[in-house]
Amino acid sequence: MVATAHDDCLPDIVDLLLDAVFLVDTDGRIVYVSAACERMLGYTPQEMIGRELFAFLAPEDRARTVAEASEVIAGRARIGFDNRYVHKDGHRVHLMWSARWSERDRLRIGVARDVTELKHAEAIQRATYAISEAAHAAEDLDVLLRGIHRIIASLVPVAGLALATCDNRTGKLSFSYQRDRHGHPLALYEPVACEFCAQVICGGRPPYLGDLAQAALSGDAAASAGDGGWLAMPLIAHNDTIGVLVLKVDSGVRYSDKDKELLHFVADQVAIAIDRAQLQADLRRAARFDELTGLPNRRLFNERIKSVLARCARSQSGLAVLYIDLDDFKQVNDSLGHASGDLLLQEVARRLQRCVRGTDTVARLGGDEFVVLLEDVHTPEDARAVADKIREAVSHPIDLDTCVLRTQASIGIAVYPEHGQEVERILQHADAAMYADKRNRSSQAM
């Protein structure tokens, strides 16, 4: 019966077709394939006949292809089904199928067309839209990178993805994202990986490294050969390299030139998206944090105290606000210059943070004015104890490179609910208490 199907139904002219014709038996084995298969998949007909068609199928498409084959065997002709096969050299080939079942011959008859070029063009367009949407929808960089990981995984098979970005101030590389295909942390030996990425940026390394690099980057000297490799692509935005995109590749997977072209295009889009996300994050940070000290600014402090006050009202707990002003700070600026004044403020900010808990907030309101928000304060004495600790810390000598300064802090304390139940009232009390403390200290000095 097989010979009849071959001899009568498929004359030699079939081998001249650009599309490949397959005959597959009930066991899924190829009984005939036309010569076009070699151009598509790299295998000669002799290498494919007798083997299961699914042996050439990309693993990620197996489940839905099995379901499609069942539809065909059930007598439902299918037109336009597409899936991916593995070329002899390892890269993926997109095929589009028309298939029907021959009950007389007990064979699936399929005609496959290579649509890799079409899929490549569609993938570029789809990736552009997807990355753009991810960049606009992402709340932060980590969310954006998870979205980018999903987009890349939909385009090519990847075992894992990592992203090394450059610090805007120091230029140092660090990995802001590293996950495997399941979302688990990727085994990456960062000292070697950062050096590898730095060399990729400088052009000192090829973009693809195989087995030895696999062992080095994962920090496993005993990693076996054939365990895959890494593909690294510099991320360039506005002619500046902002990082490196690193893909972990499974053993046996080889990206075609078209795949690499697609990935480099995606890397360009990723660079633009990350650069935009970092700029937006910088703008958001500038709107909420003090540029000089890195502390929350007045706006963020007001948001936090309102939130804490609402919690305290619900839980019947207390809070305290310490309003802090440095004595004679203007004289430092006038006599030593604003650069020395800035160093003084930065050191005071560090000392204030060391005096409070991680749940508390230290903010700079402007100039030499700082404020501390203490949560879960049980008694006014607790707040005074923190104020005494701050006075002690600030009074220690401060080395400003050109000289050593001693400074003092005037501190006003307001406690909720004793000194007010609204934000404005609490802050007014703390401010007034600070000036009273300053006057008292000034009179004692006389």
| 163 neighbors 174 (Cβ within 8 angstroms) | no
Both structure tokens of 254:
């080889």
pLDDT at residue 379 tops 90: no
Question: What average pLDDT does the segment 232-251 reach?
Answer: 84
CA distance 156 to 260: 10
- In this predicted structure, the answer to whether residue 221 has a pLDDT above a threshold of 50 is no
Q: What percent of the chain has pLDDT over 90?
A: 41
The whole-number average pLDDT for the span 128-149 is 82
Q: Which of 76-90, 117-131, 203-217, 230-244 has the lowest mean pLDDT?
A: 203-217
Q: Which residue has the higher pLDDT, 253 or 317?
A: 317
Task: Give the C-alpha separation, 302 to 299, whole Å.
Answer: 5
Query: Distances in Å between the alpha carbon of 417 and those of 238, 313, 320, 328, 384?
Result: 54, 9, 9, 32, 16
How large is the average pLDDT for residues 100-126? 90
Whether 446 has a pLDDT exceeding 70, the answer reads: no
Q: Is a pLDDT exceeding 70 seen at residue 214? A: no
pTM reported for the whole predicted model: 0.55
| Average pLDDT value for the chain | 85
For the segment 148-161, the average pLDDT, to the nearest whole number, is 87
Q: How far apart (Å, rounded) are the C-alpha atoms in residues 386 and 432?
A: 19
Label each residue of 315-373 as H, E or C: HCCCEEEEEEEECCHHHHHHHHCHHHHHHHHHHHHHHHHHCCCCCCEEEEEECCEEEEE
Q: Residue 306: which pLDDT band, with cuts at 50, 70 and 90?
A: very high
pLDDT tens per residue, range 1-50: 444 444 554 456 666 678 999 999 999 999 999 999 999 999 999 999 99
Provide mean pLDDT across the span 61-81: 92
pLDDT at 174 over 90: no
Sequence letter at residue 182: H
The answer on pLDDT for 102 being more than 90 is yes
Sorted by sequence, the CB contacts under 8 Å of residue 145 that are 6+ apart come out as 163, 176, 177, 274
Whether 206 shows a pLDDT value over 60: the answer reads: no
Q: What is the pLDDT of residue 320?
A: 94
Q: Is the pLDDT of residue 420 over 80?
A: yes
Tell me, what's the pLDDT at 339? 85
Q: Quote the strand ranges of 145-239, DSSP E.
A: 160-166, 173-180, 208-209, 229-237
Are 93 and 41 contacting, i.e. CB atoms less than 8 angstroms apart?
A: yes
